[in-house]
Structure 1
Amino acid sequence: MSHASSLADARDPTLATAVHRRLREDILSGRLPPGQKLRLRDLTENYGAGASPMREALAKLAAEGLAEQLEHRGFRVAAAAPYQLDGLIRSRVLAECAALRESIRRGEAAWEEALLLAEHRLSRAARSLDPHRFISNPDWEACHLRFHQALLSACGASPLLAFCDRLREEARRYRALSNTLAYPGRDVAAEHVALARAALDRDAETAADLLAQHYERTGAFVGADLGRMTE
C-alpha cells in the first residue's frame, strides 16, 4: 500500500468503522476463533485496509472485550471459556429482566402489536433448513432476534437496550462456537409462546422468570458443549 494511500486511510474514519464492523462480525460468527492471532500484516491484506484503520479497529475490539492486546505482540481474538459464558448469561438475565419488567409496565398498544407480530413470525419460521438434521436457518435467527428485541422495546431506556444488544451479540459468539444448536429434548417454540403470553398478560414477574430460564437453559446446553470441546 502506498504512502499516500496510507495517509488517506488514516484520515478516513468510515474505513476504520467498516473494518471494525467486519472484524467484529467475523469474531461473533466464529469465523475468527478464540485465541487466533490477529496479525496486522495478514489483516491488512485480508480486509483491504491500511495499518492505521486496522489498529483503530483492533483497539475498539479490545475495548469491547472481543480482542485481547498482547504486550509487544499485537492482538488476538478473546477467549471464550465456559466460565466466561456463565458470567455472560448472568449479566443477560440481570439486564434483560430489568428491561422486560419496565417494558411491560410502560408498553402500550403499539408495543403489544409489535410483540404479537414478532412472535407470530418467529412461530412460522423453521429453525432448521433440513428436516433430517439441524442446519441453522438465518430467517429463524433474524425472527428470533426481533422477538427478543420486541419484548424489551418499550422500556424507554436506550442505554440499557444498547447494553442488552451488546450482551446478546457476545452470547451469539458462544452459540456459534458450539455444536449444540438443536437443544435436544427442549421445546424452544413453547418457551417463546409462554414468554410472549406472560408479557402480554402484564405478568412481569412470570415473564422475567421465564426469560431467565430461557437463557439459563441455552447457557447450560452451550456451556456443556464448549466444556466437551476443551477437554
Structure 2
Amino acid sequence: MTTPVTTEQGMRSPDTQATAVYRRLRADILDGRLVPGMRLKVQHLAAEYGAGPAPLREALAQLAAEGLARRIEQRGFRVADADPAGFAALIRTRCLVEALALRESIARGDAAWEDQVAAAERRLARLPRSLETTRFVSNPDWEVAHRAFHRALIAACDAPPLLAFCERLREEADRYRALANAVAYPGRDVGAEHAAIAEAALDRDADRAATLLSQHLGATGDFVRVALEGRQTSKARVRRRAA
C-alpha cells in the first residue's frame, strides 16, 4: 500500500483521494455491491466513501472510461448495465485473448513456470468449490485459488499489456458471476477441466491447452449467462406486478 500524499495542511491531496475512491468504487461494482443501472449520486457517495465532490467525479470519469460506469448527459453517472449479450461477447473475447496468452506462456515458460502451474492446480484441487454439500455456497478460498491457477497458466507469456488485458477481462467476468449470485455447475467436473488444462500446458501441447481453456471459459460463460437471463426475467416479473 502506498503512503498517502499530504498537503502542507496535512490533508490528503485530491489526486490521492480520487485514486482511493476509484479503487473502492471499482471493487464495489465488480463485487456486485453497486448493481447495474444504479444511480451514482455524488452527494450520496461523498458520505459513503468519505471523499469530496472533485475526487469523486474524477473517479467516476475513470470508471466510465473503463466501461464500468456510464455517463448520462447532464444527469451524472450510473453503474454500467450487465446484459447477457454483453457477457457473451466478453466471454468470446476472453477465450480469444487468454488462449493466445496461454500459447505464448507455453512457448516461453521455464521449469519455474511449470512448478508454478503444477502447484496452483494441486492447491485448487484440494479445495471444495462449495462450503456446503446440500446447496451451493461459494468458497472464497476456492475463488482465490482459482484466480491464482488461471494467472499461473499465462504468467510466462512475457507481455505485460496482454496480461493486464486478460486480468481486466477476468475481473469483468467475475462481476457478471457476482451479479448472477451463486452458480452451481450441475453435471460438470470443473476440477477435471483444470487438471486437463494444466496437463496439456505442462506437456507443451499448445493447441490442446488453448482448446481446453476456451472450452472451460465457454462452459462457465454458458452457466452464468443462463443465470443472468433468469435474473432479468425475475426482475421483469416484479416490475409487471408493481405496474
TM-score calculated relative to the size of structure 1: 0.94
Query: Counterparts of 2:12 and 2:55 in 1: how far apart (Å)?
Result: 6
Give the equivalent residue in structure 2 for 1:165. Answer: 167
Query: Counterparts of 2:57 and 2:137 in 1: how far apart (Å)?
Result: 36
Q: Of 218, 231, 235, which aligns to 1:229?
A: 231
Query: Counterparts of 2:198 and 2:139 in 1: how far apart (Å)?
Result: 22
Deviation (angstroms), 1:8: 8.2
Give the equivalent residue in structure 1 for 2:236. Answer: none
Off by >6 Å, runs of 4+ in structure 1: 7-10
Deviation (angstroms), 1:134: 1.1
Query: Counterparts of 2:182 and 2:188 in 1: how far apart (Å)?
Result: 12
Matched residue pairs, number? Answer: 226
Query: Counterparts of 2:186 and 2:50 in 1: how far apart (Å)?
Result: 42
Q: How does 1:44-59 map onto structure 2 within 5 Å?
A: 44-59=46-61
Deviations 1:182-204 (A, max 9, x none): 11111111100000000000000
Deviation (angstroms), 1:125: 1.2
Give the equivalent residue in structure 1 for 2:222. Answer: 220
SS at match of 2:157: coil
Deviations 1:57-105 (A, max 9, x none): 1011001100000000000000000000011001101110000000000
Query: Counterparts of 1:230 and 1:171 in 2: how far apart (Å)?
Result: 17
SS at match of 1:49: coil
Give the equivalent residue in structure 1 for 2:110. Answer: 108
Identify unmatched segments of 5+ residues in structure 1: none
RMSD of equivalent CA atoms: 1.5
Identical amino acids, percent of aligned pairs: 60
| Letter matched to residue 208 of structure 2 | T
Q: How does 1:37-186 map onto structure 2 within 5 Å?
A: 37-179=39-181, 181-186=183-188
| Letter matched to residue 207 of structure 2 | E
Verify the 8 A CA contact 2:177 2:224 in the aligned structure 1: yes
SS at match of 1:68: strand
Deviation (angstroms), 1:133: 1.5
Verify the 8 A CA contact 1:10 1:53 in the aligned structure 2: no
| Letter matched to residue 15 of structure 1 | Q
Deviations 1:102-153 (A, max 9, x none): 0000000000000011001101111111222111111100000000000000
Deviations 1:144-191 (A, max 9, x none): 000000000000000000000000000000000114521111111110
Give the equivalent residue in structure 2 for 1:199. Answer: 201
| Letter matched to residue 71 of structure 1 | E
Query: Counterparts of 2:37 and 2:11 in 1: how far apart (Å)?
Result: 28
Identify unmatched segments of 5+ residues in structure 2: 1-6, 234-243
Query: Counterparts of 1:98 and 1:146 in 2: how far apart (Å)?
Result: 18
> Which stretch of structure 1 is more off in the superposition, 183-192 or 70-79?
183-192
Residue 16 of structure 1 pairs with residue 18 of structure 2? yes
